[in-house]
Structures are given as C-alpha cells and as structure tokens.
Amino acid sequence: MQQGKPQQRTMKPEQAMALATQLIEANRLSEAENLCRRVIQAQPGSHAAWFSLGLIAVKSGKLPVAAEMMKNAAKLAPAHAPYHRSLGEVHRRLGAFAQAIEYGTNAVRLAPADPEAHYNLALALSDSGANDNAAAQYKKVLTLNPSHNLAANNLGAVLERMGNEKDAEQAYARAIAINPRHAEAQNNLGAILSARGDLDKARACFSAAIEADPGFVHAHYNLSTLKKYTADDPHLKALEAIARQGGAMPAETRLRYCFAVGKAFEDVGRYDEAFAAYAEGNCLKRASFTYDEKQTTESIGAIIGAYDKKFAAKKAKGCADETPVFILGMPRSGTTLIEQIVSSHSDVHGAGELHDLGDAISEVTGAPAVGNYMQWLKDADAKTLSRIGEAYVSKVRARDPKALRITDKMPGNFFYVGLIHKILPKAKIIHAVRNPMDTCFSNYSRLFNETMVFAYDLRELGRYYRNYKRMMDHWHAVLPKGTILDMSYEELVADQEAQSRRLIEFCGLEWQDACLEFHKNDRPVKTASIAQVRKPMYKNSIARWERFRERLAPLRAAIEEGETI
C-alpha cells in the first residue's frame, strides 16, 4: 500500500507547527516552509509560524529574509524574549550592531535570568567594540551559568583587547577548567603564556588545543613558532597529515598552515618544500588586501625633498624630556632583541610597538599620522612641536611613571625620525641594521599579527627595503651627528657585551650586567620574535637566506639593482 503525504490540511495550527519544527530539525526546509505558510494563510497572527520562517531563512543563509520574518513574529508577540534574542543574533551576523544591541537589550530586559540572552547581547557588544559592556554581559552569563565555557573564553578575548591580560588569562583558564578540550581557549591561553615567555606552558596549551581539534590550524601555527623541528617530530607528521586529508581550507586557514609547515620543512632541511609553502602562504596573504606601493614611494620622496639640511637646521625647542627611546628600522632587523637588552636595565620600561606617536600627532594637529607629514610640519610653530612631544611623553609615561627611559620599538618609526628630532630633541633613536637579504627573507617567512602590506611579495618587499634605506640614509645626512645610533645585528651577535654596552651608554644609563641576560627578562613580547628573545644570543639566523639563494633572485634584484615600480 502506497504511503501518502501527511494530511496537513486537517491539522490544527499547533499540530502543524509541531510538525514544522520536526521538519526544520531534519533539514527538510522546503516542506517546513510550505507548512508554515499554510498556517499563516489560515491564521495570520501565528507568531510561531513567522518565527519558524525566520529560522528556515537562517538555515538557508538568507539573513535579511530571516530578519523580516522574525520582526513579524516579534510584533505579534512583543513580550516573547526568544524572538528578540534571535533578532539580535541575526542582526549581529548582518553587521547591524546598533540594531543587534537594541534587540539584545530587549531580550535581557524581558528575560533577565536567561544566560543565552546575555550571551548574545555580549557577542553584539563585543563585535561593535563596546568591550567594557561586553565584559559585563559575559560576567553576567557566568553568574547565571557558571559552566558556560564559551562565555568564559569570550570574556578572556574581550579583556585581552582591553589590555587586561592578567584577568584574561584567568578567564581562559576558567574556560579550560570547565572544558579542558575547549581548543580555542587552550590556544588563547597559550598565546598569552607565549607573550609572557612561559614557553613550556604555552606549548602544552597549543598541544592540548591540537589534541582536542586536530584540524585547528591556528594552534598548529602557534606551536610551530615555538619549536625547532626534527625529522621524526610527531608535530611535523601531524602537519603533513593535514595536507593528505585533502579538502578545501578557507584562505586564512590555508595561509597559516603554509607558514607553519614551511617553518617545519625549513627546520629539517627540506628547503624546496619549505620555500614552496612560504610562497603559497605569501601569495594567499597578498591576495587579501590592496597596497598602494607608489604612494609610499612618493611620500618618502616628498619628505626627503622638503626636510632638507636647511629645514633640519631650523631650531625647534620641542619637548626636552629624555624619557623616550625609539628603536626602529625594518621589521625583523633585530628591534625586539635590542629592546629586550635595553629593557633588561632596571631603569628602563620596554613598552613594545606603540601607536602613541601617530596618536599624539593626530590629537594635536588634526592631521593624519600617515603620508607626507611635511605638509603640516614645514609650517608648524614651536608651540605645536612642543605640544606633540608632550602629548607623546604623557602617553608613554602612563605605562610606567617611574622609569627613566621607556622604549618604543615600532619599526616603522624610521619614517618619522626627522619629526621625532623636532618634537623630542633629547629622545634616543636606535636604528637596527641587518643584512638586507636576511632581513627581507625573515619578513617573507613570517606571518605577522598586523598586516605588513609590503612583506608578502618578493619584489614589493625588496623595493620597500630600498625606500627604507633611502629614508635612513637621508636622516643620517641631514641630522646632527650622534642623533641616531646604528646597531648592527651581526655585530651585536658577534660581540654581545661590547655592543650591549654601547646601547646602554647611548641611552645615558649606567651599565648593569642584567642586560647580558636579556633572555631572562619576563616582560611581555608580542612580536614575531617571541621565542627568539627567550634564548641566549645565537648565530644561526645569520646568512639564513643563502639556503634559498636561487629562489630569492627576484628579491635580490629589487634590492641591489634598484628595481622600480
């Protein structure tokens, strides 16, 4: 006997909606939608049917339709909190954060004891950048449901964005205590431990994340940065297994995998495979953004043309504070190592890569901090220059009011050396110098946390290096002798004590032997040199590029032959 279709027309509305719910759960969306529309046709005020149409639209990837259907439900049942909660989540996914927060606020007002309502509101607040309010909502979730490990992990992420790493660490640890197999929380805690120099515990966290989720490429990548591989390393085998499994990865995931496996292949001497992986990772990253290389070149040319010897000789009182120490140069040229040595001195606070200079410029002048700053600097009066210097000092001083010196190791500040000399004439400026091929390849073989837009194409990277060199040569030519201390990475490695003493003397400080034990300095480090600066001085990064000499021919040509855009 042939089985017929369910007798939908004879069902009561509540029976029809119960069946629609079952169909939605079974992913039989077309049948569920037809059933809901029949219910609405018979009973236009059925808010449950409108809401179910919204759920069907969500499952179908039609978020704007979902929002409209759920709005109809909420209009018909304005006191029903789950409708507002779901509307908030749909609008969050649409990027309409103001509306997401409005609906989320309605949901927690209507259902103050519902942890999921607070959780969804916290997500919207976090995505909108309202970190303080998001943290408060995540804490409310954990009060209502202490075992909500997602809320604990997300609280950690928000606290970390706010610069509260101590409490962030505790939040991640709480998420792990609730669920030790929470891979993202393990990875997040590992990142904090890594920055602090607690590398063994960081490796353990990344390994736990991988054990919980073997396909979690982000954790594989993070672990790869903290270890030296051997041919029989189980993690190398795990990385190769991911490739054998096949299947498409999202581009962001794939590029992380490429940098991780490239590092592993290089460590074990499989250089052709390593370079192929690096090249693929760089290609994927480069395709993800636009870069106006010509604008960079033109800005540097304009600054060099306007900041000539005559302009450099114009007296500018500036701010006479001696606190700032700028450590600058190309990324991966030794800036982190220099800061680690200098900040091992008891009178120095190592602040890392700061955006304070650009912020101070914008706050005082209203001008953008990027591009050709000579457009406003050439006409700036002494009061403006002093105010910029004072604003900068105020910002860095807030990090450690008692330190005699505070370092700012933003590499790209090489662009601003002349400006720094005008606003802070007594600031110390240390220029990290390294073999150009080693410097550039070290950039090319790393995935940066912040987009170094010039670093993911060999020719663009080489041309950027030439622009940087051109800029620094100009500053040496027009500024008074002794303004800038060039510190060679190779000389620092070859004669650690003599060069370290030069650094400390240049900073105007008495020598301390602790500066020779920089690897014991436990200050947070958030650059690509996290692992390197936790080890005593070593020499195996010198001439590293030679392993890839033939592959790096385009880079070498761009650097040495003056290749133009």
Across 227-236, 296-305, 539-548, least confident range: 539-548
Across 163-184, average pLDDT: 97
State residue 14's pLDDT score. Answer: 84
Residue 524's CB is within 10 A of a number of other CB atoms, namely 13
Average of pLDDT values for 458-466?
97
pLDDT score of 533 more than 90:
no
pLDDT at 150: 98
Question: What does the pLDDT read at residue 13?
Answer: 84
* pLDDT surpassing 60 at residue 431: yes
- Asked if residues 319 and 430 have their Cβ atoms less than 8 Å apart, the reply is no
Tokens standing for residue 498: 């003599």
Whether residue 10 is predicted with pLDDT greater than 70 in this model: the reply is: no
For 30, other C-beta atoms within 10 Å of its C-beta total 10
What mean pLDDT comes out for the span 319-327? Answer: 97
Determine what percent of the chain is predicted with pLDDT higher than 90.
86
Where, residue-wise, is CATH 3.40.50.300 in the chain?
Answer: 293-560
As a whole number of angstroms, the distance between CA 342 and CA 518 comes to: 8
Tens digit of each residue's pLDDT (9 = 90 or more) over 44-57: 999 999 999 999 99
% of the chain exceeding 70 in pLDDT? 94
* pLDDT (0 to 100) of residue 518: 76
pLDDT greater at residue 243 or residue 253: 253
pLDDT of residue 370: 82
Q: Give me the mean pLDDT over the 457-467 stretch.
A: 97
Q: What is the mean predicted confidence (pLDDT) over 19-25?
A: 92
CATH 1.25.40.10 residue ranges of the chain are: 11-217
What's the confidence (pLDDT) of residue 540?
Answer: 73
Q: Is the pLDDT of residue 125 over 60?
A: yes
The H or E element that residue 37 is part of is helix 29-42
pLDDT > 90? residue 2: no
Kindly state the average pLDDT of the residues 400-412. Answer: 96
Q: Tell me what the mean pLDDT of segment 90-115 comes to.
A: 98
Q: What is the mean pLDDT of residues 113-117?
A: 98
Per-residue pLDDT, 96: 97
Summarised one tens digit per residue, pLDDT across range 442-457 is 999 999 977 799 999 9
Cα Rg of the chain (Å, integer): 29
Which fold would CATH assign to domain 293-560? Answer: Rossmann fold (3.40.50)
Residue of 238, 229, 170 whose CA lies nearest to 207: 238
pLDDT digits (tens, 9 = 90+) for 145-169: 999 999 999 999 999 999 899 999 9
Mean pLDDT of the chain: 93
531 pLDDT more than 80: no
**Angle in degrees, CA 114, 116, 122, rounded to 5:** 115
Q: Which residues of 201-221 are buried (b: 16+ CB within 10 A; e: fewer)?
A: ebbbbbbbbbebbeebbbbbb
Distance CA 532, CA 535 (A): 6
- pLDDT category of residue 6 using cuts at 50, 70 and 90: very low
What's residue 450's pLDDT?
75
Average pLDDT value for residue range 2-21: 70
Cα–Cα dist 352/225, whole Å: 19
State the architecture of 11-217 in CATH terms: Alpha Horseshoe (1.25)
- Rounded Cα gap, residues 494 and 379, in angstroms: 45
How confident is the model over 381-390, as pLDDT tens digits? Answer: 999 999 999 9
d(CA 91, CA 80): 18
**pLDDT(174) > 80:** yes
- What pLDDT does 562 receive? 65
How far out from the chain centre does Cα 182 lie? 21
222 burial (CB, 10 Å; 0-12 / 13-18 / 19+) is buried
Helix ranges, 424-561 (H): 436-444, 458-478, 489-494, 496-506, 553-560
